[in-house]
Homo-oligomer: A and B are copies of this chain.
Amino acid sequence: MSGRYFEDYPPGAVFATGTLTVSAEEIIEFARKYDPQPMHTDRAAAARGAFGGLIASGWHTGAMMMRLFADNFLSPEASVASPGLDELRWLKPVRPGDRLSLKVTVLEARPSRSRPGEGIVRSHVEVLNQHGEAVMSLKPISLIRRRPA
């Protein structure tokens, strides 16, 4: 979201995003490269398996989460990098046709001690499907530039 700086992420602020729709083709393409387990790559094997059909790799869901996070929460002017994240949970299967969106709540925002032009924002991200169910949650850490004086 263009134009946001560290000062625009106060603790308690909530950001919602648009949606991304998951396709079977993309689930299979991602998983063939990065997570070639039959529940992600093989429709027939997935149908016989524990989830009763094809489900997205958790890392694919994470990548789609990142797309929504980059487009709707971070800004090109101020996003520096991420040192990491905590407490990632995959809560429900993500299936072909699901429409994913994010609810992002700022947990903490503090100026960096070592990098005076930047701040550290910790947030809670819920990845929701079209039924409003959380399919994934995580607490990312973001380094964000402070607004120029």
Write the residues of chain A forming the contact surface with B, with a CB cutoff of 8 angstroms: 30, 33-38, 50, 57-60, 62-64, 66-67, 70-71, 74, 76, 79-90
Chain B residues whose CB sits within 8 angstroms of the CB of A34 once the complex forms? 63-64, 66-67
Choice from B71, B79, B88 contacting A85 with Cβ under 8 Å: B88
Chain B residues whose CB sits within 8 angstroms of the CB of A90 once the complex forms? 81-84
Q: Determine the main DSSP class of A at the interface with B.
A: mixed
Cβ of B81 and Cβ of A88 under 8 Å apart? no
CA distance A80 to B58 in the complex (A): 13
Cβ of B67 and Cβ of A33 under 8 Å apart? yes
Cβ of B83 and Cβ of A86 under 8 Å apart? no
Cβ of A35 and Cβ of B50 under 8 Å apart? no
Cβ of A88 and Cβ of B89 under 8 Å apart? no
CA distance A84 to B33 in the complex (A): 20
Chain B residues whose CB sits within 8 angstroms of the CB of A30 once the complex forms? 63
Chain B residues whose CB sits within 8 angstroms of the CB of A80 once the complex forms? 50
Cβ of A79 and Cβ of B37 under 8 Å apart? yes
CA distance A33 to B86 in the complex (A): 24
